[in-house]
């Protein structure tokens, strides 16, 4: 294959190869690795539609109800007449009310009611309860790297062949109890579905989407180098294709200066004085809230390849990412105090798969006296640093680089477990080194 310079062409070639394998290949499984914002959902929708139009009914497995509903809506946009089944739980409010407005979507808590539809979509948890049905010929498993091996075990009997799509750089699935006893076994139930699948079927074709359409040209090289060192990808847009500007000039405060830096370069680090703090560091939390407040007050506007003119950056285009739930709750409270509503504030786990114009991140290691495996986890930082289309502002206490040097990763080595590269320690250093070039000191 000749080198492709145009990102659109490169992405199209990769997609064609995946669809070729899916529709005409003989392998029982196909694995697609997708970096952040590389058009994973678009691929899932397209593969589903092509399979359905080839007269091959299929099931789609996603991980959360929000992901399922999102896929149903996207399918309906592309093919309004196609019969789609939404299998849901029997809880109250099991699906997004938007689905009630779609004529082609049939919703039921029983798989039998949806028999014969071209596409049936549900969560892995719901599929696991489906019994005594004729297996589907095809399945698409979305976010397969976030699915646990035991969840795949529960649903794999429902299909003959499957396309597994996911992002290997995001957070690994976890269990709330120790699972060391099975570490190193090919079917370790706490490992990701893809690692079990490939351990047992190493011959399966594996593809990769090469272009991130979400990440701007300022972010793709860093995220690619820091988190995907052996499977590089690039940005679909170039420097200058995207611009972030403000209607109100800077007032010279820390939050304003860091916003200007981020608008200019795509990254901004607001560094507070070094200090050991509780997890919900009041100063850092307030700094995060202030940055968001100023971003909205100053009339941020984003220009991108999507439209001719600048689009206002409204609250729903902004997100705050944290490591812990109590931190998210503290930021929400601080934002409410400043009168800001509508901004998504959540942990890395819950921001996975979502996209915003600007993100503000409370650094997982900020103010900590130690660096545990949880805080060093590569996927956590990767999720937090790859949700934005325009700019990312990180709020952090000084001294994280020293903290990292004092806490090299010391996880026990488990025999038979594939070592993941890069480790969180190295990825954290890479990101910090880059952020240091966009640093704004501020003592609130």
Query: Applying CB under 8 A, which residues contact other proteins?
Result: 28-29, 92-93, 125, 128-129, 131, 149-150, 152-154, 156-157, 175-179, 181-182, 185-190, 193, 196-197, 199-201, 278, 325-326, 329, 333, 336-337
Q: Which residues contact 63 (CB under 8 A, 6 or more apart)?
A: 123, 124, 142, 143, 146, 147
Residue at token pair 């820390």 = 254
Taking the complex as a whole, the smallest distance from the CB of residue 3 to other proteins amounts, in Å, to: 35
Residue at token pair 């299929």 = 58
Residue with smaller CB distance to other proteins, 102 or 199: 199
Spatial separation of the C-alpha atoms in residues 219 and 235, rounded to whole Å: 8
Say which DSSP state 148 is in: B
Taking the complex as a whole, the smallest distance from the CB of residue 81 to other proteins amounts, in Å, to: 31
Residue with smaller CB distance to other proteins, 178 or 252: 178
Taking the complex as a whole, the smallest distance from the CB of residue 244 to other proteins amounts, in Å, to: 29
Q: Cβ(95)–Cβ(89) under 8 Å?
A: no
For residue 246, report the phi and psi dihedrals to the nearest 5 degrees.
Answer: -125, 140
Taking the complex as a whole, the smallest distance from the CB of residue 284 to other proteins amounts, in Å, to: 17
Residue with smaller CB distance to other proteins, 105 or 144: 144
Residue with smaller CB distance to other proteins, 149 or 224: 149
Residue with smaller CB distance to other proteins, 83 or 94: 94
Taking the complex as a whole, the smallest distance from the CB of residue 258 to other proteins amounts, in Å, to: 27
Taking the complex as a whole, the smallest distance from the CB of residue 305 to other proteins amounts, in Å, to: 35
Taking the complex as a whole, the smallest distance from the CB of residue 356 to other proteins amounts, in Å, to: 19
Residue with smaller CB distance to other proteins, 10 or 124: 124
Q: What is the 3-state secondary structure (H, E, C) of 215-275?
A: CCCCCHHHHHHHHCCCCCCEECCCCCCCEEEECCCCCCCHHHHHHHHHHHHCEEEEEECCC
Say which DSSP state 290 is in: H
Residue with smaller CB distance to other proteins, 81 or 93: 93
Q: Which of 110, 109, 113, 155 is nearest to 136 (CA)?
A: 155
Run of H or E including 211? strand 211-212
In degrees, to the nearest 5, what angle opens at C-alpha 322 toward C-alphas 396 and 252?
40
């Amino acid at each position: 294959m000749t080198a492709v310079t145009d990102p659109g062409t490169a992405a199209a070639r990769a997609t064609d190869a995946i669809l070729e394998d899916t529709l005409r290949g003989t392998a029982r499984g196909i694995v697609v690795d997708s970096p952040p914002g590389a058009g994973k959902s678009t691929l899932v929708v397209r593969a589903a539609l092509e399979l359905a139009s080839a007269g091959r009914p299929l099931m789609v497995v996603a991980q959360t109800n929000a992901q399922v509903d999102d896929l149903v809506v996207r399918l309906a946009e592309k093919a309004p007449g196609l019969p789609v089944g939404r299998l849901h739980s029997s809880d109250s409010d099991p699906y997004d009310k938007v689905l009630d407005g779609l004529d082609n979507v049939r919703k039921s808590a029983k798989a039998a009611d949806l028999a014969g539809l071209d596409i049936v979509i549900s969560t892995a948890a719901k599929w696991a309860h489906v019994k005594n049905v004729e297996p589907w010929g095809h399945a698409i498993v979305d976010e397969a790297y976030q699915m646990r091996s035991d969840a795949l075990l529960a649903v794999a009997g429902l299909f003959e062949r499957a396309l597994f799509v996911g992002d290997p750089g995001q957070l690994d699935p976890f269990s709330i109890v120790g699972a060391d006893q099975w570490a190193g076994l090919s079917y370790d139930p706490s490992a990701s579905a893809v690692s079990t699948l490939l351990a047992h079927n190493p011959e399966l074709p594996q593809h990769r989407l090469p272009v991130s359409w979400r990440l701007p040209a300022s972010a793709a090289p860093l995220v690619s180098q820091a988190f995907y060192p052996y499977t590089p990808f690039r940005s679909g847009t170039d420097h200058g294709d995207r611009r972030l500007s403000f209607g109100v000039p800077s007032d010279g405060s820390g939050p304003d200066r860091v916003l200007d830096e981020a608008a200019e370069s795509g990254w901004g680090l607001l560094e507070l004085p070094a200090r050991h703090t509780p997890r919900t560091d009041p100063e850092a939390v307030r700094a995060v809230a202030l940055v968001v407040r100023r971003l909205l007050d100053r009339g941020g506007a984003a220009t991108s390849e999507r439209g001719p003119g600048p689009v206002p950056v409204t609250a729903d285009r902004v997100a705050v990412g944290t490591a812990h739930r109590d931190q998210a709750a503290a930021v929400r409270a601080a934002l409410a105090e400043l009168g800001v509503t509508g901004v998504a504030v959540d942990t890395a786990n819950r921001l996975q798969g979502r996209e915003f114009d600007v993100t503000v991140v409370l650094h997982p290691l900020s103010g900590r006296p130690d660096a545990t495996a949880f805080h060093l986890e590569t996927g956590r930082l990767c999720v937090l640093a790859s949700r934005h289309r325009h700019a990312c502002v990180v709020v952090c206490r000084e001294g994280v680089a020293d903290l990292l040097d004092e806490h090299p990763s010391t996880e026990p080595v488990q025999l038979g477990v594939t070592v993941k590269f890069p480790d969180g320690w190295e990825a954290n250093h890479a990101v910090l080194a880059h952020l240091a070039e966009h640093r704004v000191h501020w003592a609130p």
